Structure 1
Amino acid sequence: MSAPASVTRAWPGIRRDRAVLAGLLVLGVLGLAALTRGGDGWRELDLTALREGPSARHWFGTTGTGRDVFALTMRGMRASLLLGIAAGVLATAVAAVVGAFAGLTGGLADRILMGATDLLLVLPGVLLVAVVAPEGASSAQLVLLLAVLLWPLTARAVRAQTRSLRAREFVLAAEYLGASRARIVLRHILPNLGGLLVADAAVNVGLAILGESGLAFLGFGVRPPDVSLGTLIAEGTPVATVQPWLFLPPALLLVALVLAVNLVGNGLHRALEER
């Protein structure tokens, strides 16, 4: 069963889950706001309003250089959301292929693939990022780095499920008919793991958003002049008590974004497991 088919069959259970519906609603609102309001307005300067609090003209206030905090926050949320989605989906795709081949093949290939997975699990992520991109990473580098850090856990789950599927009749029949391992993985194993992969992809997106924001807070995130929620939180932290409008909007939106993604991911996992 393919991933879309799994979600379709599980839709009645998803529709009854209020947590999932709330998460989808929050994600929809925040995603629409980020895509429609995260354009070029964040670059504009208003030299008549420096470090001003929220007002009708500037909803979230302004920075010391006159930039609109609302426009900056929307831009940052757009960057964090897009990077998180790209990294989460890529991590799940890599984990699906590696875990399925390891579980189906077994033997030496399984030990090598799982050994590499275990190595990445114990490797400090911040150290890896500091070595690869010590002065900040581009968007493409961030996506790749976050995917590298996220795929091992999902790969282990996929491997365990594949080991239980490889003894099923349809897999044995495909092997008897001479199907290659790549064909068995793509046509028989992964479609039957659609529910697991959809749910894990949603969870990985939330982890990627949180990871990107953490790296940006430490100075390893997107490069200036571009911004993300993590860079905005880092800039607003020193003045959080005296100018809270610089800190609270990106911090609260980050919490809302990650919470919504996790609600959707956990709800999908429950519904798909029940099906």
Structure 2
Amino acid sequence: MNRPSASTVLIGTGIGVLTLITATALLGPALLDGDQAGQRLDRIHRPPDATNPLGTARLGEDVLLLCLQGLQKSLLIGCVAAVVTTALAALVGTVAGYLGGVLDRLLMTVVDVLLVLPPVLLLAVVLGPAEQINWLIMVAVLALQGWMLTGRVVRARTLSLRTADVVRSAEYSGASPARIIWWHLLPQMLPLLTIDLVLNVTGAVLSEAGLSYFGFGILPPEVSLGTLIATGTASALTYPWVFLAPVGCLMTLVLGTAVLGEGLRLRTEGAATA
């Protein structure tokens, strides 16, 4: 009996963990007792028990429910930001690499400028004037600061594929550049873009948590894993469950995504060397 490869085990584990987390975040709040959602001054900072498996927070909120709501927001931001980041990198990289010329130089100049700009400066310019940051602004900021390196990799790959027989045949048949990019270049990069998409989810979730922790991202009364960790830090030693619960959720989410990304990377490398 053949043993499953390391990539298969990693991919299966990553998908299983992420599926469990996503299903719990989406379905969990609806399954919990509605009475746990409100603030209850008679149960402030109560340790975990049968009623509140993860304890209660500083205003009597159920920590489990807060974590599920925070997971929903962090997953939403992470997944949408990852899709936008990967799509932007694929678009810029393929257009610059295939069309070349002045457009290529212009796009790569933009990439170089964004690469040397400190992320803190970008955050200060975009997020500084805003009194309240909604998740769409967070997605835009995270996408703007995360696509450049992948865009350069996609451009380099496009340059090597530009002279491939399938591309030449499409050009001789009169296919437009947009059709060639969509049907002949991007499919060749699906393994690379898939790995980048998965890893971008991890990066976006961590970035959102860090920004929200320092007050640049999602702010109360909205809930994300970053805001929960920020509010729980003050009581990390006295009421540790308030801090450890969102940290555990964040670590599980990031580890599940990282395991899936590593499995996809190993499978891609194995297919390339086969």
Q: Say whether residues 1:24 and 2:5 are aligned partners.
A: no
How many angstroms does 1:130 deviate by?
2.5
Contact 2:10–2:262 (CA under 8 A) maintained in structure 1: no
Q: Tell me the equivalent position of 1:72.
A: 66
Q: Say whether residues 1:47 and 2:41 are aligned partners.
A: yes
Quote the Cα distance in structure 1 between the aligned partners of 2:105 and 2:132: 34
Q: Which amino acid aligns with 1:56?
A: A
Moved more, 126-135 or 101-110: 126-135
How many angstroms does 1:43 deviate by?
4.3
Contact 1:61–1:70 (CA under 8 A) maintained in structure 2: yes
Q: Tell me the equivalent position of 1:8.
A: none
SS in 2 for 1:179: coil
1:165-213 CA-to-partner distances (Å, cap 9, x unmatched) read: 0010111122223322111111110011111111110011111111111
Q: Tell me the equivalent position of 1:149.
A: 145
Contact 2:115–2:148 (CA under 8 A) maintained in structure 1: yes
Q: Say whether residues 1:34 and 2:25 are aligned partners.
A: yes
Q: Tell me the equivalent position of 1:212.
A: 208
Q: Pick closer, same or farther for the CA change 1:186–1:151 going to 2, 3 Å.
A: same
1:192-243 CA-to-partner distances (Å, cap 9, x unmatched) read: 1111111110011111111111111111222321110011111111211111
Quote the Cα distance in structure 1 between the aligned partners of 2:223 and 2:121: 22
SS in 2 for 1:193: helix
Quote the Cα distance in structure 2 between the aligned partners of 1:14 and 1:48: 53
Moved more, 169-178 or 195-204: 169-178
Q: Which amino acid aligns with 1:220?
A: F
Q: Tell me the equivalent position of 1:228.
A: 224
Contact 1:87–1:205 (CA under 8 A) maintained in structure 2: yes
Alignment of 1:116-135 (within 5 A): 116-134=110-128, 135=131
Quote the Cα distance in structure 2 between the aligned partners of 1:16 and 1:120: 34
Q: Tell me the equivalent position of 1:137.
A: 133
Quote the Cα distance in structure 2 between the aligned partners of 1:31 and 1:88: 16
SS in 2 for 1:29: helix
How many angstroms does 1:47 deviate by?
2.5
TM-score (ref. length: structure 2): 0.90
Alignment of 1:237-256 (within 5 A): 237-256=233-252
CA RMSD of aligned residues (A): 1.9
Contact 1:136–1:220 (CA under 8 A) maintained in structure 2: no
Moved more, 127-136 or 66-75: 127-136
Q: Which amino acid aligns with 1:35?
A: L
How many angstroms does 1:14 deviate by?
7.3
Quote the Cα distance in structure 2 between the aligned partners of 1:96 and 1:211: 21
Quote the Cα distance in structure 2 between the aligned partners of 1:199 and 1:128: 26
Q: Pick closer, same or farther for the CA change 1:153–1:224 going to 2, 3 Å.
A: same
How many angstroms does 1:16 deviate by?
5.3
Q: Tell me the equivalent position of 2:99.
A: 105
Quote the sequence identity (%): 44
How many angstroms does 1:136 deviate by?
4.0
Q: Tell me the equivalent position of 1:6.
A: none
Contact 2:7–2:263 (CA under 8 A) maintained in structure 1: no
1:243-269 CA-to-partner distances (Å, cap 9, x unmatched) read: 101100111111111111011112112
Contact 1:14–1:268 (CA under 8 A) maintained in structure 2: no
Contact 1:136–1:219 (CA under 8 A) maintained in structure 2: no
